[in-house]
A and B are shown apart, each in its own frame.
Chain A
Amino acid sequence: MIAEAGLIALWLAASLALLQLFLAFAGLKGGKVELLAAMRPVAVAQGVLTALAFALLITLFLRSDMSVLLVAMNSHSAKPWLYKFAGTWGNHEGSMLLWVAVMGVAGGAVALFERALRRDTHMATLGAQAAISLGFYAFLLFSSNPFARVDPPPPDGQGLNPLLQDPGLAFHPPTLYLGYVGLSVAFSFAVGALLTRAVDAAFARAMRPWVLGAWILLTLGITAGSYWAYYELGWGGWWFWDPVENASLMPWLAATALLHSVTVLATRDGLRAWTIMLAVVAFSMSMVGTFLVRSGILTSVHAFAVDPERGSFILALLAVYIGGALALFGWRIGSVREGAPFELVSRETLLVVNNLLLSVILGIVLIGTLYPLMTEAFGHKVSVGAPYFDRIAGPIALTLMIAMAVGPLTRWRRDRLPAVGRRLVIPATGGAMAAVFIAAVAWGRIGPLPFFGLTVAIGVGIASLAPLWKRKLLRTPLFTWGMVIAHLGCAVSLAGMACDSAFTVEKLVAARPGEAIRTAGWTLRFVKIMPLAGDNWTALQADMAVDRGGRAVMMRPQSRFFTSPPTTTSEAALLTQWDGQLYVVLGEEVEGGRWQLRIWWKPFVTLIWFGGVLIALGGALALVGHERRGWLVKWRSRRAVA
């Protein structure tokens, strides 16, 4: 019954989306903005129904209802409850239902909470959101039904990929999806504004919190995904330039650019067409990413059940939505007035530089990701790996970081170059001193990119705090704090990346119990190796007593064997210190009772993710800051009226 109820909820939600689209059409055509009042409950009900359908699917997974095909294919009754729960979205159909649910709930939220937008634009926005949702409802209902039954039901399920059986699965995909799909709101806003010719500062102020919200979640999702891959895959790396990673990075790059250009539009009424374009591009990148992953045209570690029919379906959706939005852009943007002009030396210029550099990086990642596909169309097979991305995108990213240091220290509209230079003296001095120090300590050991990376990180780190100088910290607006912390987070993250690539020490040994291994100042005593039984796995666990002069700590890397489905995974053991992480992976047994061990000492690697969290925190502070200001203004004006 639960599965049928879920399916009915989905069909109802789809019909409501159709109604919502119709109401928007009728309202805009006939100039009846009062229809917005009717659209609101429709959008909210749609959100509730999609959330309900998703909750019902979770229930099916939790109850291990093997009469549902999706559960039988991807779950197993012997799994711990957390993985039954998180396994709901560890597969194609379930994750598409999550996609639709996020889209529905986001649409409901726009209907419920958005008050600043012009009413006709609001209607058009909700109409656009309904139109996109309709395509994904159709995709789900016609080619990826998560609630399909199987008759007769199998005695038990096929289990979940053991790599996914990790608490990371409970956190990373939902957060990422909230951000990824949350960008659909920005897309709908852009379409709504184009339809009603409402591209102006007020529009930008209304759109900003939605962009910011999605961007914060996307940042957290990517950070979590990176850390998860780092410790679960056991390869010691934190970013692999895999197509799926790129698929999440590209919307993030576009959304980051959008976040800054929408600020220019909200504050100075500039960059109108560009902001609209970015809003379209950001969610388009989410959809393109989904297509690349789900159609199987690119090879990736995130393999989904690949099906050409589904690929064609998503391709058709892409063509309609992105093509439609871009055509609308071409048709309507000509009638949008040019925004306010600005001087060459101004914060606006720096933000344009930020946008251009982010777009260039986006282009580099897009080309690198699609290049194998392009050459294949001409009969060659190539793969594009980290060297391309690092060498091409790295220097541009460093330039971007420098622009990020200068931007907040430059005034809006017009500034004087010498004045900006004076404000940069201290950060530049700090960066130069850091460069001398690093060169003195590590010359010859450090490559050019990590060297500049570390130098820039320190200089930019200092510069990012500069907007707080000579200010009363408690009276500084929350969104300034947000900017400072987010920029500091970028510097911190960059420092972690540079340290990891410059100073990581790797050691591959074969050792037998009783032996001791020395590397990077650490002593690892291989105490013993023991079998171990877990919930739905057995493992071989090595006990390593680890110290660097002080008290020894036990590290326990495992090699795990899962029975359903039969797979081996390695569970790395990590020891986090203030100055880095020790990372130990247990490999296979080699002759003579010795075991392969892979040991990394990664100085300051944790800064990468700490920086990511800071960036998201900065975003959250900016969001609260902007919103609170809105509430204060409203409250004061209400009091004034009273």
Chain B
Amino acid sequence: MRRILIWLPLLLFVAFIGLFASGLFQPDDRIIHSRLVGQPLPAFDLPAAASDRPGLSSEAMTSGQPRLLNIFASWCVPCMVEAPQLMALKQAGVAIDAIAIRDARSDVDAFLARNGNPYQRIGLDARSAVQIALGSSGVPETFVIDGRGRIAYQHIGEIRADDVPTILARLEDAR
């Protein structure tokens, strides 16, 4: 018994060293995976955020075809940065809907006039309620929604040019 006790600390320590080494050499993984991936969209029905587009409801996102749901705001600078990528996706035939966060219709109109309008429908989430239900922590974020209205993928931050292939691939997967 005493013999085992004597060597126990060393054995424990060796286990710790193994743990530390595995922690040290594991590739740094800073991607946050949303718990909502695989879940159906939360139910919502939002009024129109722009003058020339209808509002957005969760039912409208269940169209049988995968679509993108872009969370943006007219006051958000990175949203301007991702606008060309969204236009390119639209050109590639992707259906894109959007939710504008804490926004005003005139501001959204001005934003779309300046940066282009890739959206089919835009809902206004004046108090971030839907954004919170979606588990989205900021703007911009983009969700891939499959044909049955389930969240297939979440992209946090602005879409850069080299993110476009990933998003197209995810859309294809969700088909």
Q: Write the A299-321 contact mask toward B (1 if CB under 8 angstroms, else 0).
A: 00000000010011001001100
Known: A318-B17, A370-B19, A377-B19. A326 touches B24 (CB 8 A): no
What 1/0 mask marks residues of chain A from 589 to 610 whose CB sits below 8 Å from any chain B CB? 0000000000000000000000
Supposing A311-B24, A323-B13 touch, asked if A373 and B6 sit within 8 A by C-beta, the answer is no
- What count of chain B residues pass the 8 Å CB interface test? 18
User: B3 contacts the other chain (Cβ, under 8 Å)?
Assistant: yes
The answer to whether B44 has its CB under 8 Å from any CB of chain A is: no
For window 1-30 of B, CB contacts with A under 8 Å fall at 2-3, 6-7, 9-10, 13-14, 16-17, 19-26
* A218 lies within 8 A of chain B by Cβ: no
Query: A329 — which chain B residues lie within 8 A by C-beta?
Result: 6, 9-10
B 95-108 binary contact with A (CB < 8 Å = 1; else 0): 00000000000000
Is chain B's interface secondary structure helix, strand, loop, or mixed overall?
helix
State A281–B22 Cα separation when bound (angstroms).
Answer: 22
Q: Are B19 and A315 in contact (CB under 8 A)?
A: no
Task: List chain A residues, Cβ under 8 A from B22.
Answer: 377
Q: Which A residues from 325 to 358 make CB contacts under 8 A with B?
A: 326-327, 329-330, 333-334
- Residue contact B17 to A374, C-beta cutoff 8 Å: no
Task: Judge if A460 is at the interface, Cβ distance under 8 Å.
Answer: no
A326 and B23 contact, Cβ closer than 8 Å, known pairs A333-B6, A334-B3, A334-B6: no
Decide yes or no whether A277 CB sits under 8 A from chain B: yes
> Are B19 and A326 within 8 A (Cβ)?
no
B10 touches A327 (CB 8 A): yes
B17 A330 Cβ-Cβ under 8 A: no
Bound-state CA distance A330–B19 (Å) is: 22
Nearest residue (CB) in B for A319 is: B17
CA distance A291 to B24 in the complex (A): 10
The CA-CA distance from A329 to B25 in the complex, in Å, is: 30
**Do the beta carbons of A326 and B10 come within 8 Å of each other?**
yes
Name which residue of chain B comes closest to A373, CB basis. Answer: B23
Cβ-closest chain B residue relative to A328: B10
Separation of A166 and B22 alpha carbons in the complex (Å): 37
Q: Are A330 and B23 in contact (CB under 8 A)?
A: no
Q: A377: nearest residue on chain B (CB-CB)?
A: B22
Q: Is A588 part of the contact surface with B, judged by Cβ < 8 Å? A: no
Query: Which residues of A are found within 8 Å of B9, using beta-carbon distances?
Result: 277, 280-281, 326, 329-330
> Can you give 16 contacting A-B residue pairs, CB < 8 Å?
A277-B9, A308-B25, A311-B24, A312-B24, A315-B24, A318-B17, A318-B20, A322-B13, A323-B17, A370-B16, A370-B19, A373-B20, A373-B23, A376-B26, A377-B19, A377-B26
Partner of A373, one of B2, B3, B10, B19: B19
| Chain A interface helix/strand/loop/mixed | helix
A373 to B14, CA, bound (A): 15
Contact between A297 and B6, CB atoms less than 8 A apart: no
Say whether B6 contacts A295, CB under 8 Å: no
CA distance in complex: A312, B24 (Å): 7
Q: Which residues of B contact A312 (CB under 8 A)?
A: 24
Residues of B contacting A280 in the complex (Cβ-Cβ under 8 angstroms):
9
Complex contacts, B25 vs chain A, CB 8 Å: 308
Which size class do A's interface residues fall under? 20 to 34
Task: Say whether A308 contacts B24, CB under 8 Å.
Answer: yes
Q: Distance in Å from the Cβ of A230 to the closest Cβ of chain B?
A: 28
CA separation between A353 and B113, bound complex, in Å? 74
B21 lies within 8 A of A330 (CB):
no
A330 CA / B14 CA spacing, docked (Å): 14
| A225 CB, min distance to chain B CBs, angstroms | 24
| Least Cβ–Cβ distance between B127 and chain A, in angstroms | 14
**A308-B24, A315-B21, A377-B26 given. 15 additional CB < 8 A pairs?**
A297-B20, A297-B24, A308-B25, A311-B24, A318-B17, A318-B20, A319-B17, A322-B13, A323-B10, A323-B13, A323-B14, A326-B9, A330-B7, A330-B10, A377-B22
- Chain B residues contacting A327 (CB-CB under 8 Å) are 10
Residues of B within 8 A of A319 (CB): 17
Shortest C-beta distance, B104 to chain A (Å), equals 14
CB-nearest residue of chain B relative to A284? B13
Pairwise interchain contact A315-B20, C-beta atoms closer than 8 A: yes
Give Cα A350 to B62, complex, Å: 69
B20 partner residues in chain A, CB cutoff 8 A: 291, 295, 297, 315, 318, 373
Task: Determine how close the nearest CB of chain A comes to the CB of B8; give it in whole angstroms.
Answer: 9
- Residue with the greatest number of chain A CB neighbours at <10 A, chosen from B6, B16, B23: B23
The residues of B that contact A318 with a CB separation of less than 8 Å are: 17, 20
Considering the chains assembled together, what is the distance between the CA atoms of A40 and B16 in angstroms?
36
Which 3 A/B pairs are nearest by Cβ-Cβ distance?
A326-B10, A297-B23, A330-B7
Tell me the smallest distance from the CB of B18 to a CB of chain A, in Å.
9
**B13 adjacent to A326 (CB under 8 Å):** yes
Q: What CA separation (Å) do A329 and B7 show in the bound complex?
A: 8
B23 engages A376 (CB within 8 Å): yes
Interchain CB contact under 8 A, A295 and B24: yes
State A373–B23 Cα separation when bound (angstroms). 6
A contact residues around B16 at 8 Å (CB): 288, 370
Q: Can you name the residue of chain A whose Cβ is closest to the Cβ of B6?
A: A330
Provide the bound-state CA to CA distance between A374 and B3, in Å: 28
Which residues of chain B are within 8 angstroms of A323 by Cβ–Cβ distance? 10, 13-14, 17
CB distance from B17 to the nearest CB of A (A): 5
In the assembly, what is the distance between CA of A329 and CA of B11, in Å?
A: 12
Q: How far is the CA of A23 from the CA of B153 in the complex (A)?
A: 65
CB-CB under 8 A from A330, the residues of chain B are 6-7, 9-10
B17-49 CB mask vs A (1 if < 8 Å, else 0) is: 101111111100000000000000000000000
